[in-house]
Structure 1
């Protein structure tokens, strides 16, 4: 029977903003990602966790601006949430949402019904 599962993971990364209208010096955050997916069975839980951890390994303890997937984009919480959502979808999972927390009072949520 299908069920919904949410996984939460912390990560650490630096970034800076250097596009017109939004500039900020390099700084770091203790980020957090929370991903929710519709799973067909408990066996899919392992694949979901592995896919999320694989995505995190690319950015944990890195300067986000240097990552090829973010080239030409300000690495904001919004951009990271969209990237993680699409990554999970491309891993043949059924993500419902991805939430990225950048600071205690700042987060972004990407939902499947809002992604093209």
Structure 2
């Protein structure tokens, strides 16, 4: 059986701040990048994948990340965003292999497919 993976990349702009003990930073923004790789099944298409990823990005673009319920009580980090995007793609019916979030030019975090 042939397995096809597809990777898409999207950008978004969001602010965040860190205010939990041990990690405090004032509000600041980033030009984030999400890169997601999914295993396409027999019925899933590139269009469906793009629509699911774009829906997740639309929720975050030009927002304060701290205001999102999914991040309530947690510092919004690249690691948590990668997990959130991964879970969103799973909930949308995809089998993600990897989701990477770039917060800065030299800083990426990834959430990987469970073994």
Q: Larger helix proportion, structure 1 or 2?
A: 1
2:99 is the alignment partner of 1:98: yes
2:104 is the alignment partner of 1:109: no
Q: 1:56 deviation in Å?
A: 0.5
Deviations 1:92-116 (A, max 9, x none): 10100100000001110100127xx
| Inter-partner Cα distance in structure 2 for 1:98 and 1:43 | 18
CA contact 1:3–1:41 (8 Å) conserved in 2: no
2:31 is the alignment partner of 1:33: no
Uncovered stretches (5+) of structure 2, i.e. residues with no partner: none
Uncovered stretches (5+) of structure 1, i.e. residues with no partner: none
Aligned match of 1:47: 48
CA contact 1:2–1:41 (8 Å) conserved in 2: no
Aligned match of 1:56: 57
Q: 1:43 deviation in Å?
A: 5.1
Q: What CA RMSD, in Å, does the superposition of the two structures yield over aligned residues?
A: 1.4
Q: 1:12 deviation in Å?
A: 0.4
| Inter-partner Cα distance in structure 2 for 1:78 and 1:43 | 27
User: What is the SS of the residue equivalent to 1:11?
Assistant: strand
| Inter-partner Cα distance in structure 2 for 1:40 and 1:63 | 34
* Alignment TM-score, normalising by the size of structure 1: 0.93
* Alignment TM-score, normalising by the size of structure 2: 0.94
Query: Stretches of 4+ moved more than 4 A in 1?
Result: none
